[in-house]
Amino acid sequence: MRDLAQSHLLQLLSLTAMDMPDALTSSEIHAKKHEFMSNLTMPTVEPSGIPQVIRGQYSSYKREVDNPNSNIETFVSLNLKSKDPNWAEAEFRLTTGKALNEKLTAILVYFGSKDPNILRFRIQPDEGIDVDLLIEKPGFTHNLRKVKMNFSYNSYFEDNNHDAYERVLVDAIRGDHLLFATKEEIMASWYLLQPILNYWQSTSDDLVIYENGGKGPSTSRLSREDSAKLKT
């Protein structure tokens, strides 16, 4: 939660779902990101747990850290809602974990709830954008079929091997703050997630142990078929 959800995932979410800024400047973009994060609602902490959150720990973690009582999470999935009327029917899911069966970072935007069209931003590996579209197959019957449109950065840009930290260091030297989080964004993210961390300090009853190299804990109870979803 601290290493990825609070920082990386909430930043990706705000960049994806914020309102269009009036200008593509650092100050305007940060203002829109902060506005979006400020409208996210805190998960509800109940005596039995937090319905919108699943936390897990891979099976060998306690042995690796030599602490049989550790309740540190190595997996978290949480659903968030927004007070912004434009997102009234939407649901945002953040998921991250270690020791899983694959390593990837992606943003998926679902349009609709049943057989949705999906816009996917692939951040790593194989950076690019693809779209899953449900279209009608040509002919005399009304047969629908899923097709994929795919764009890969490596196919169009030869010089696409820069390390992410190179860009951060260059921007720091230039004084360009666009890729950095402001103190207002950081405070908004901690305000949102700190109640979860406070609850986790009091109990480990909701900690799910999952096998190394698997898909991680089931997140089925977080699903809502009647709402749009955006997850990372």
> Any idea which residues carry the catalytic annotation?
8
Distance CA 127, CA 119 (A): 14
Name which of 213, 179, 150 is nearest 7 in CA terms.
Answer: 179
Query: How far apart, in whole angstroms, are the C-alpha atoms of residue 40 and residue 84?
Result: 8
**Tokens at residue 144, please?**
């629908």
Residue 162 burial by Cβ neighbours in a 10 Å radius (0-12, 13-18, 19+) = exposed
DSSP 102-162: ---EEEEEEESSSS-EEEEEEEESS-EEEEEEEEEPSSSS--EEEEEEEEEHHHH-S----
Query: For residue 170, what are its two tokens?
Result: 């260059």
Return d(Cα 97, Cα 19) in angstroms, integer. 29
Tokens standing for 57? 């720990």
Within a 13 Å sphere around the CA of 157, how many CA atoms are in the beta-carbon half? 10
C-beta separation of 130 from 104 below 8 A = no
